[in-house]
Structure 1
Amino acid sequence: MSKSDLVGRRDALTLIGLSGLGLGGVGLAGCAGVPGNDEPGSSTPSARRTSPDPSTTTTSTTASPTKSATSSPTGPAAAEPDFQLPAAKRGLVPVLTRVPTKQPVVFLSIDDGVTKRAEALAALQHYGYPVTMFLTKNTIQNDPEYFRGFQALGNRIQNHTVSHDTTMWAKPFAYQYAEIKVMQDYAQEAFGRAPTLFRPPGGRYSKATRRAAGQAGLKAIIDWEALVSGGQMQYQVGAKLRPGDIVLMHFRPEFEADLKAFHQARLEAGLKVQRLDDFLGV
């Protein structure tokens, strides 16, 4: 794999109409850490930005007028989407680190599925927040029924690979495709629906990752710019939540503390929580 085939997750900022955004804040550590550069074996975050890949560069476009808003527990009705997810180009699915929207909305995503506690489901029901779950087969297959409880609230299971190999992005295409496709098939069998969105372990990806995701039937790679961990919010850009932010959280023992911290941050920012899948129309 050549260096030109590798893309760090910070470089995704230029892919979906975010070229005017400045890079700042702290590097985010989620799902075993997020290296910011695109060199195999590197671990030091890079502040550089590369030129956007011409196969994926796009600007925000208005969503189809036929797409209707859906009800939300955080308000009388969900905001009308003002962004349309672009299709894959030359086999490469688009990448989002946040959604370029003018609507006062934020998106909560929850990863992995290692810790399974009834209190987590109760906490989510208490706040009434819609979420998008990026789950890993090897961590959830011992108790898929637990996640059906979250699914029953209208939330969807998305793809976070089979084994959560954070070095997957630098491995051959066949390996990456298998990690993604086997999880696709498992989710279809266990939850009755194949995922439409993919989050690479650790947030890193390459062109091979984007191609493998597309061939497995996924519509986009989803990364993040805000993280809640240990009961604290962390931001890669700025010091508070912004419209369109995709927030990363995990199924961990501190789930309730993390959810409370997110709740407070979204109140301070004056944003409503919407389900990412619904806003993107996937």
Structure 2
Amino acid sequence: MQPVRQKDKLAMNGREPGAVTGGRQRVRGRLRRRPGYAVLAALLVAAAASGCAAGDDSGAAARDAKLQAGQPGAQAEPAAGALGTRAAQAERARLAQAARAVAAKKWDLAATPLAAPVPPAKKPRLTTRKGFEVEGQDDSLPPVFTRVPTTDKVVFLTMDDGDDKDPELLKMMSELNIPYSAFLTDYLVRDDYTYFKDAQSRGTVLGNHTLNHRYLPGLSHDEQKREICDQQDILEEQFGKRPRLFRPPYGNYNTDTLKIAKSCGITAVPLWEAEAFPDHMEWREEDQKLHPGDIILTHFRGKADWKGSMPDLIRSVMKVITDQGYSVARLEDYV
């Protein structure tokens, strides 16, 4: 059975499942309070108050005041009058972006991230990218893609594995209102499921990245099933929801991979167009530019593996995204 290869088996910096970087296990640290928190909080309260004054649904208004379009819980197409007048909605959007500007300064971003557009009322039809087909490929298998078909000037941020559990990352992404999807590998996250429950509570959607990050085309059918479907069961048990999205380790898969993934609830296999690091980007396409719908890959890693922390990574990738005129949208709003 011919596998589809994306990367060599040198990912994870050569580490095997169960290895501990530098003889140390990572634990969650204490959040550091940064300057600007009071201003940011005041702007969020002002945005909430604006929404409350505009309509009767005060609970929804207060909740949505912290959410840009594309974030989970934000209302894509509110009914007339549900959130007040257009002027009030525009004011809430202005206040939300002002809060984001304060957060961008607080977290030392080069520029304020752009607000994502309203998600599409109907999700685009996904197909497997040409050249990524497997033997016996047909429309019954989950599509494998690196870019979402859209004309919106948006990209999608995804993080794999779950090794480094930096609490500053959760706070940073929440305050900046930047959505991302996390594809989790159990042997790396099982020591602290609570960290990812916190991420989930802040709007992050969790996907499947197998139990042990093994090279799937080299496994038997039963071994692949354990890696994929057992991880589905664990994620559902721990986080209350069975994932729809699956990313094979190293981006490598074969026909068995896709058939097994489908059998345990997977509907799509998003890969990536670019990979982000704290100090550089790696590109699939020769033009080395972003395009509408591009999926960006990065990992939960820290200074032990990279030239920087997770917040350093976000500062770096957001500069690329914002400089090219793109916003970050929520992958699950399009897929």
Which TM class, normalised by the smaller chain length?
Answer: 0.7 to 0.9
Give the conservation status (yes or no) of the 8 Å contact 1:184–1:194. yes
Q: Which of residues 106, 125, 140 is equivalent to 1:84?
A: 125
Cα displacement (A) at 1:126: 3.3
1:154 Cα offset (Å) = 1.4
Match of 2:313 in 1: 258
CA RMSD, Structure 1 to Structure 2 (Å): 2.6
Residue segments in structure 1 that go unaligned for 5+ positions in a row: 11-26, 34-67
1: CA distance between counterparts of 2:192 and 2:272?
A: 27
Note the C-alpha offset of 1:181.
0.6
The alignment status of 1:8 with 2:5, answered yes or no, reads yes
Residue of structure 2 equivalent to 1:205:
253
Structure 2 residue 220 is the aligned partner of structure 1 residue 220: no
The corresponding residue for 2:222 is 174
User: 2:193 aligned to 102, 120, 144, which one?
Assistant: 144
**Cα 1:30–1:76, aligned 2, differ >3 Å: closer, same or farther?**
same
User: What residue identity is the alignment partner of 1:117?
Assistant: D
Aligned length in residues: 225
Higher strand share: 1
Question: Which structure 2 residue ranges, 5 or more long, are not aligned?
Answer: 15-74, 79-92, 97-113, 129-136, 303-308
Q: Pick from 152, 165, 168: which aligns with 1:103?
A: 152
Q: Contact 1:32–1:202 (CA<8 Å) still a contact in 2?
A: no
Cα distance change, pair 123–75 in 1 and its aligned pair in 2 (3 A): same
Residue identity in the other structure for 2:168? E
Bigger Rg over Cα: 2
Q: Give the Cα separation in 2 of the matches to 1:103 and 1:138.
A: 36
Post-superposition CA distance 1:56-86 (Å, at most 9, x none): xxxxxxxxxxxx8479975274342662235
Contact 2:125 2:149 in 1 (8 A): no
What CA distance in whole angstroms lies between the structure 2 residues aligned with 1:70 and 1:227? Answer: 32
Residue 231 of structure 2 corresponds to 183
CA contact 2:180–2:204 (8 Å) conserved in 1? yes
The answer (yes or no) to whether the contact 1:148–1:191 under 8 Å persists in 2 is yes
CA separation of 1:135 and 1:260: change in aligned 2, threshold 3 A = same
1:59-74 mapped onto 2 (5 Å cutoff)? 69=76, 74=114
Residue type of the alignment partner of 1:7 = V
Q: Which amino acid aligns with 1:233?
A: M
* Offset from partner CA, 1:20-53 (integer Å, 9 cap, x none): xxxxxxx9x86559xxxxxxxxxxxxxxxxxxxx
Which structure has more helix as a fraction of its residues?
2
Deviations 1:119-147 (A, max 9, x none): 11122123211111100111111111101
CA deviation string 1:197-232 (max 9, x = no partner): 000011111111111111111001111110111332
| Distance of 1:265 and 1:70 partners within structure 2 | 30
Instruction: Provide the residue aligned with 1:268 in structure 2.
Output: 323
What is the match of residue 195 of structure 1? 243
Displacement after TM superposition at 1:187 (Å): 0.7
Question: Do the aligned partners of residues 229 and 249 (structure 1) sit closer, same or farther apart at CA in structure 2, a change above 3 Å counting?
Answer: same
Which whole-Å CA distance do the structure 1 matches of 2:126 and 2:248 have between them? Answer: 18
SS of the residue corresponding to residue 163 of structure 1 reads coil
Letter aligned with residue 165 of structure 2: K
Match of 1:229 among 265, 277, 299: 277
- Counterpart of 1:240 in structure 2 is 289
Paired residues of 1:30 and 1:248 also in contact (CA < 8 A): no
Q: Displacement, 1:90?
A: 6.4
Shift of 1:170: 2.6
Describe the shift of the 1:151–1:107 C-alpha distance in structure 2 as closer, same or farther (beyond 3 A): same
Q: 1:241 to 1:77 in 2, by over 3 A?
A: closer
- For 1:115 and 1:240, how far apart are their aligned partners in 2? 28
Spell out the pairing of 1:16-165 with structure 2 (5 A cutoff).
31=12, 69=76, 74-75=114-115, 77-80=117-120, 83-85=124-126, 89=138, 91-165=140-214
Identity %: 33
What is the CA-CA distance between 1:272 and the residue it aligns to? 1.4
Whether the 8 Å CA contact 1:242–1:269 is kept in 2: the answer is no
Give TM-score, length-normalised by structure 2: 0.62
Separation in 2, partners of 1:256, 1:177: 35
Asked if 1 retains the 8 angstrom alpha-carbon contact of 2:247 and 2:270, the reply is yes
Name the CA shift for 1:208/1:181 in 2 (closer, same or farther; >3 Å).
same
3-state DSSP of counterpart to 1:100? coil
